[in-house]
Chain A
Amino acid sequence: MFKLLSLGNIFYWIEKLTKFINSIFFVLLLVALSFALILSPPDYLQGDSVRIMYVHVPSAWIGLASFTSIAFLSIVNFVFKIKNIKLITKSIAPIGLMFTCLAIVTGSLWGQPTWGTWWAWDARITSMLILAVFYIGFISVHKFISEEERANRISSIIAIIGLINVPIIKYSVEWWNTLHQPASIKLIGSSTIHSSMLMPLMLMFFVLLLYCALIFLMKYKTEIIKIKKKNLKRL
């Protein structure tokens, strides 16, 4: 089991996985874009502006999911001190930051035609902005603190504190009166979105997840090479 999880084996599987994702990615992207931009119907109330949802919602989901996984992995790292975990969290963070920023920007582009404003200090939007700040803090610590142990400890604390913000983002639309609409897709209970829109949304989400996997694998591979380079210098 531990042999399977060695950096050498992980490196081998990263190569294989990257090739596989590359081989299917562009076909799936084309299909997803066709559904999102052409085949899916306009909304009865929001018209064609609803198509922004196909990039906005998956971006927000990925931003939230990435931070949640970083926080939980940081807790595991605090308890068990597994070296691999810090490589994983370091590789996930930039992806999460990018998608959080994309969710904010595309949300703003959706807000202008829908609410008549680019920005509002609304609970959902503000809590998403705070999430971006936590991401920036996490990444900056690794960039500016050269002492690795200290950087890991501080970044883990940032991630764990930031975890408090995740349920706030999720339930902000229920706890406060916000401009942002409540969730249409629920994990528990029935969703209020029609299947003709749900299908393209899930397809776009899947394609963006594949993209995340691709970036994550490349970043993880870079981190492994950095470690091996350091080891080589010790020779």
Chain B
Amino acid sequence: MIQNLLSMNGYGLFVWSSFLITFLACAFVYYKTHKTLKKYEREFAKEINELSIEQKKIVIENSKVASQVLSSYSKTV
């Protein structure tokens, strides 16, 4: 049965290559996108942490994005 699944009556090379290429491309794009997102989150959180206490308070109070990024960043750290 496994032999049949792999050979696909002679079309195995074409079928498996198509699926493999699709999923390798998808996995690569996912990895790259996730890595870029985490990089920007880290940099953004770092920049907020470098602000003075007063400025930091203003940013967190006025920006939902900043407070969410900070909380998710502190969880990962």
Inter-chain contacts of B30 with A (CB < 8 A): 211, 214-215
Q: How far is the CA of A37 from the CA of B12 in the complex (A)?
A: 10
Q: A219-B33, A222-B36, A235-B55 are in contact. Are A106 and B18 (CB under 8 A)?
A: yes
Q: A48-B8, A48-B15 are in contact. Are A232 and B47 (CB under 8 A)?
A: yes
Q: A56-B18, A106-B22, A109-B17 are in contact. Are A228 and B65 (CB under 8 A)?
A: yes
Interface size counted on chain A using CB atoms at 8 A: 46
Contact B21 A105 (CB under 8 A): yes
A residues sitting closer than 8 Å to B (CB atoms) are: 6-9, 11-12, 15, 33, 36-38, 42, 47-49, 51-52, 55-56, 59, 94-95, 98, 101-102, 105-106, 109-110, 112-113, 211, 214-215, 218-219, 221-222, 224-226, 228-229, 232-233, 235
Q: Quick one: closest B residue to A235, CB to CB?
A: B55
Contact B68 A12 (CB under 8 A): yes
Q: A102-B25, A215-B33 are in contact. Are A11 and B14 (CB under 8 A)?
A: no
Q: A110-B14, A235-B59 are in contact. Are A229 and B68 (CB under 8 A)?
A: no
Q: Quick one: closest A residue to B69, CB to CB?
A: A225
Contact B64 A9 (CB under 8 A): yes
Interface set, chain B 12-54, CB cutoff 8 A to A: 12, 14-15, 17-19, 21-22, 25-26, 29-30, 33-34, 36-37, 40-41, 43-44, 47-48, 51
Inter-chain contacts of A6 with B (CB < 8 A): 64
Q: How far is the CA of A33 from the CA of B40 in the complex (A)?
A: 34
Q: Quick one: closest A residue to B1, CB to CB?
A: A38
Q: How far is the CA of A47 from the CA of B65 in the complex (A)?
A: 52
Q: A47-B11, A51-B15 are in contact. Are A11 and B68 (CB under 8 A)?
A: yes
Q: How far is the CA of A6 from the CA of B63 in the complex (A)?
A: 10
**Pick the contact of A8 from B8, B9, B36, B64 — CB < 8 Å?**
B64
B5 at the interface (CB under 8 A from A): yes
Contact A215 B29 (CB under 8 A): yes
Q: A48-B15, A102-B22, A110-B14 are in contact. Are A222 and B37 (CB under 8 A)?
A: yes
Q: A37-B5, A229-B44, A235-B51 are in contact. Are A106 and B21 (CB under 8 A)?
A: yes
Inter-chain contacts of B63 with A (CB < 8 A): 8, 228
A–B Cβ pairs within 8 angstroms, 29 of them: A8-B63, A8-B65, A11-B65, A15-B68, A36-B19, A38-B5, A47-B8, A47-B9, A48-B10, A48-B12, A49-B15, A52-B15, A95-B29, A98-B26, A102-B25, A105-B21, A106-B21, A109-B18, A110-B14, A113-B11, A215-B29, A218-B33, A218-B37, A219-B37, A226-B40, A228-B69, A232-B59, A233-B47, A235-B51
